[in-house]
Amino acid sequence: LSFVLFRFYQHKKKIANELLEKNRLITDQKIQITNGIRYASRIQNAILPSLDMVKQLLPEHFILFMPKDIVSGDFYWITQRNNKVIVAVADCTGHGVSGAFMSMLGISFLIQIVTIENTIESDKILSRLKNYFNSALYPEGIKTEQKDGMEIAIAIIDPEDMIAEYSGANSPLLMVRNGEIIEYEPNKTAIGTFKNDNGTFKRHFIDLKKNDALYFFSDGFISQFGGANGQMFMSKPFRQLLINIHDKPAEEQKQILYKTHLEWRGNNEQIDDILVLGIKI
């Protein structure tokens, strides 16, 4: 009997040690993966425009940027060409690592199109971006069921002439003027899909006035579940919120949006990346 008990104890100890070793390996792998994601986050942050540069180009602005994970599928990109400020806000398919790689691909293409090719018409930027994505994602021109790409809004602002132009791929631009909201509608197609195969986009021209407020956003804020009934925040309350805050200083607008999101979300998990960019003229 003692021998049987001893063998049972030895077997149990062996299994316990094997479990400990497997758990250690899993923990080590998790640490390596997390470290890799954090490194990807540093790369992603490095290619986003610096806050100092954005402040110089857009003195009165805010950026509410809340990735769901360490890295984000949402991104913003801002630069200056020919005394015009180019602003892009995009929501890539997926979030986390997959979304982040799509966002870095998008920024790389925008740099090529705007900075190197010197394309500064909003509709042409999106057409070129669509072509680049289709070439990268579907090199043989083969359509697939998987929809990789992004929804994006592009605006080109001329602060001297007080004129802006906008084009969008499934991402509208909102402007609040004197307490009223104006929506500039995008083309109903996302970059990277095969809809709207002719690759053309509408180009809206906007006469700006002092104290106008422009808002770019992904759908993360609107689609967050919360409140008393665990429902989505939705578009209508979001737009009313922008009307309510549009005349406040930019940083105060950001804080109100942030607090509103936290109060609405409560104990619920954040379901998507969140990006809202506001500009006061």
CA distance 63 to 81: 21
Task: Show Cβ contacts of residue 138 under 8 Å, excluding neighbours closer than 6 positions.
Answer: 144, 194
249 Cβ contact partners less than 8 Å away, ≥ 6 residues apart: 60
* pLDDT range class, residue 197, cuts 50, 70, 90: low
- Residue in the block written with tokens 């609107």: 222
Mean pLDDT of 23-33: 63
pLDDT in the model for residue 27: 67
**How far apart (Å, rounded) are the C-alpha atoms in residues 281 and 278?**
10
Whether the predicted model's global pTM rises above the 0.95 cut? no
Q: What is the average pLDDT across 60-74? A: 89
The C-alpha atoms of residue 218 and residue 59 are separated, in whole angstroms, by 22
pLDDT of residue 200: 85
Q: Rounded CA gap, 4 and 229, in Å?
A: 60
Report pLDDT for 160: 94
Residue 169: what are its φ and ψ, rounded to 5°? -115, 95
Burial class of residue 33 (count of CB atoms within 10 Å of its CB; 0-12, 13-18, 19+): exposed
What is the SS3 assignment for 191-227? ECCCCCCCCCCCCEEEECCCCCEEEEECCCCCCCEEC
CB–CB of 168/214 below 8 Å? no
pLDDT tens digits, 97-155: 677 788 888 999 999 999 999 999 999 999 999 999 888 877 665 555 556 788 999 99
